Every structure is written in structure tokens, then in C-alpha cells.
Amino acid sequence: MDWNGHIAIVTGAASGIGAGIAECFAEAGAEVVVADINERLGAQVTADLRARYGKGLFVKTDVSQAADCRRLMDETLAAYGRIDTLVNNAGVNFVKPTLEMDEADWDRVVDVDMKGTFLCSRYALEAMVARRSGNIINIASVHTVATLPAAAPYAASKGGVDMMTRSMAIEFAPYGIRVNAVSPGLTDTQIWADLQEAAEDAEQARQHWMDNIPLGRVQAPREVGNVVLFLASEQSSYVTGANIFTDGGMTAQLINRERFASKPVEGKTPGD
């Protein structure tokens, strides 16, 4: 696919997965709008993209604020005249026992991860409907199908994003607009660094995660970016309302068979 002249907005692109997605677009030849609440890192990532690929525009954006999301679309349209792809990637992870959580904890996660996805989509869709073409890709998570204790707002948000994806896919299919989700598993970003640092024994924690990932490794942000590019391209022209997992097989696995160490029993499935 020729990405020249393709306009892609990536929210939360100042670090981690978003930065990886932005790099994949710029490297392919697309124009990339880096939208992030973190001005310092956002400007840094954008300067780097400009130096290496001659692409990149930074728009400081808090995706939980409707006015910011509208301004992000306005500034993109002023600079490039249209929006081909919106990647809703900005997100915050949060783990806290439910009984210690207050309303502000809930709002902080849901406002960014779920409401932010809605608000950016809502304002981008105005421009996409007018042109009768466009593409929205929501970065969800393995938490759309399985989750962990003390992750209620995060799991609720990601589950919500999955269903929002399907609803918008149906609503905007008549306009030639596709809406899909990508659900990453463990990805090498600050979240993974924090998880290891928070563990009493970082090596044991790392091994525990690897035991639960059939491919046995953490993925690079660009591996998510490659799936996003596929969904933004003509190669996926009949794909809409989908949730594509890039999780090394994590959600396919019922239990780690090696650890289970049971002998096969004919006619019986372990776990039944």
C-alpha cells in the first residue's frame, strides 16, 4: 500500500505502544499526528519522527476532555485537510483492591480509557462521515476477555471499548468507515517495567509471566503497530467490528500444561 498522503492520528503516542504505532506509520510514509497529554515526551517523539522520516505533528491533548478532542481534530484538519485513521491508544493502567478504591480512582481510568476513546472517535467521525471514508482502531487489551483481581475499572473500560468498537462498526459501515480493536498482551513499555519493579522478586515475576505466554516472550510496541497498519490498510478492507489479539497466545491458553504436569487421560479433559 502507498501510505503517501495518508493522515493518521495516534493518541497516547508520546511513549510505549503509541510511540511504536506512530513510528510504523511514519516509516511507511504516512503523516502522523502525535496526540498526548505529556507535552515534553510528545514533543520529543515528534521531533524524532521528523528527524528520521520528515513526518510528525504534536497536538497536546487530554483525551478525557471533549474540548481537547475536538481541537485535536480541528488542528489535524487545518494542517492536512482530512483524517484517514484514528488510533485510540491513550490509556492508563491501574491496580488497586476494590475496597480501597474511591470514585476518583474509577473516574481517572474510565475517563481516559473508555470515555477518551468515545470522545476522539465522536469528533473524528464527523470529518470521516463527511468524506465517507475513514478508519478507527481502538487499542483495547487482553482484559477484554480475561482479567486480574483489583483491575475493575481497567477491565470494565477495555470491555467497554470492545463493545463500543462493534457498535460504531455497525453504525458507520454504511459510510465506508471501518472500526476495529487490537488487543495487546504483555508489551515492553513502562507498564511492564513497573510490574517487574513492583514485584518482590523481579526475576520470579518475569518467569511467571513468561510461563503464561505460549510464545514465551514480551512483545515489542512495533509488533502492535504492524497489526494496526494492517487494519488501517486496504489489506483488511472487509474487516470491521473485529478485535484482533496480539498476545503471544496468552488468551488461548486455559492453563500452562508444562506446570500442570498431568499425564493425558483418555476421554477426560483436565479442568473438566
Compute the distance between CA of residue 17 and CA of residue 69 in angstroms, rounded to an integer: 20
Listed in sequence order, the DSSP H helices in 143-245 are 152-172, 190-198, 202-211, 221-232
Nearer to ligand NAD, 252 or 265 (CB): 252
Question: Rounded to the nearest 5 degrees, what angle is found at the Cα of 47, between the Cα atoms of 36 and 128?
Answer: 50
In whole angstroms, how close is the CB of 238 to ligand NAD at the nearest point? 25
Compute the distance between CA of residue 57 and CA of residue 35 in angstroms, rounded to an integer: 8
Edge to edge, what strands does the sheet with 177-184 contain?
57-60, 31-36, 7-11, 85-88, 134-139, 177-184, 243-246
Are 47 and 26 in contact by the 8 Å Cβ rule? The answer is no
In whole angstroms, how close is the CB of 62 to ligand NAD at the nearest point? 4
Q: What is the DSSP letter of 251?
A: G
Nearer to ligand NAD, 128 or 250 (CB): 250
Nearer to ligand NAD, 89 or 180 (CB): 89
- Name the residues annotated as catalytic: 154
Compute the distance between CA of residue 34 and CA of residue 11 in angstroms, rounded to an integer: 6
Q: Could you tell me the CA-to-CA distances from 252 to 18, 22, 214, 255, 256 in Å, in that order?
A: 25, 28, 9, 9, 11
User: By the criterion CB under 6 A, which residues form the site for ligand NAD?
Assistant: 11-12, 14-18, 36-38, 61-64, 89-93, 112, 116, 139, 141, 184, 186-187, 189-192
In whole angstroms, how close is the CB of 122 to ligand NAD at the nearest point? 15
In whole angstroms, how close is the CB of 182 to ligand NAD at the nearest point? 9
* Span between the terminal Cα atoms of the chain, in Å: 47
Residue type, 35: A
Element (H or E) spanning 139, and its range?
A: strand 134-139
**Phi-psi sector, 271: left (phi>0), alpha (psi -120 to 50), beta:** left
In whole angstroms, how close is the CB of 83 to ligand NAD at the nearest point? 17
In whole angstroms, how close is the CB of 115 to ligand NAD at the nearest point? 10
Nearer to ligand NAD, 217 or 257 (CB): 217
Compute the distance between CA of residue 89 and CA of residue 113 in angstroms, rounded to an integer: 8
Are 13 and 32 in contact by the 8 Å Cβ rule? The answer is yes
